[in-house]
Structure 1
Amino acid sequence: MNINKQYKEKEVLVFVEGEIDAFTAPKLREELWHLSEKENATVTINLKEVTYLDSTGLGVFVGLFKRLNSNNGELKLIELSNRLYKLFEMTGLINIMDICVNSEDGGR
């Protein structure tokens, strides 16, 4: 799994590539957790190049979402494949998180 970040004023754009599973999720959590510490931060995660996501990976996003919300921040997940979108839909997370299939959707 590869993780690249681009920093703007109060927003961080994160590009994730590869599989997010029980083996790689701790690395993802470690890379993202500090981004949720700032007040009013926006973290946008591009999942276009993610080929697999399991429940451990979902847990990373749920934890990040909760932490950002507690600091008045925002989590956006963009450019999800149809398979990833369906996973978030089946879990009901699509109804509480800002998730879009492509970056032009603007969410949900």
Structure 2
Amino acid sequence: MNIKVNAQGYRIDINISGSVDQFSAKTLKTEFEKLQLSQVKEIIINMDQVTYIGSAGVGKLLLLYKNFSARDGKISIINLSEDIYDMLTNMELGEIFNLTRKP
């Protein structure tokens, strides 16, 4: 798994690629903990190149949401594969994240 973070003003773009399994989820958590969220209003997570995300990875997304939701910010997870999109919507995570499929 690879993660690239680009912070621009009130927005953070996070590009994730590869497989987000239980081991790489620890790296994801570490990267999320490094984020400077005090002035941020929007986080966009691009998962165009994510081939798999397990429960540990989903847990790290929820942890980010928990830490960010108190700031009234918005988190979008974009370019999801059909399988990952279906999994996240079946978990009703569309209630807290703005989820979009790959075009």
One-letter amino acid of the counterpart of residue 45, structure 2: I
One-letter amino acid of the counterpart of residue 26, structure 1: K
Q: Does 1:84 align with 2:75?
A: no
- Counterparts of 1:8 and 1:64, CA distance in 2: 18
**Structure richer in strand, relative to its length:** 2
> What SS does the aligned partner of 1:25 have?
helix
Identity between Structure 1 and Structure 2 (%): 26
1:52 corresponds to = 52
Structure 1 stretches of 4+ with a deviation exceeding 6 A read: none
1:106 corresponds to = none
Contact 2:48 2:80 in 1 (8 A): yes
Deviation at 1:60, TM superposition (A): 0.6
1:25 corresponds to = 25
Q: Does 1:94 align with 2:91?
A: no
Change (3 A) 1:71 1:36: farther
- Counterparts of 1:12 and 1:78, CA distance in 2: 13
Cα deviation digits, residues 63-89 of structure 1 (max 9, x gap): 111211112222110110101101101
Deviation at 1:36, TM superposition (A): 5.9
One-letter amino acid of the counterpart of residue 44, structure 2: T
- Counterparts of 2:40 and 2:15, CA distance in 1: 20
What TM-score does the superposition give when structure 1 sets the normalisation length? Answer: 0.86
Change (3 A) 1:96 1:57: same
What TM-score does the superposition give when structure 2 sets the normalisation length? Answer: 0.89
Question: Where does structure 1 lack aligned partners over 5 or more consecutive residues?
Answer: 104-108
> What SS does the aligned partner of 1:50 have?
strand
1:74 corresponds to = 74
1:38 corresponds to = 38
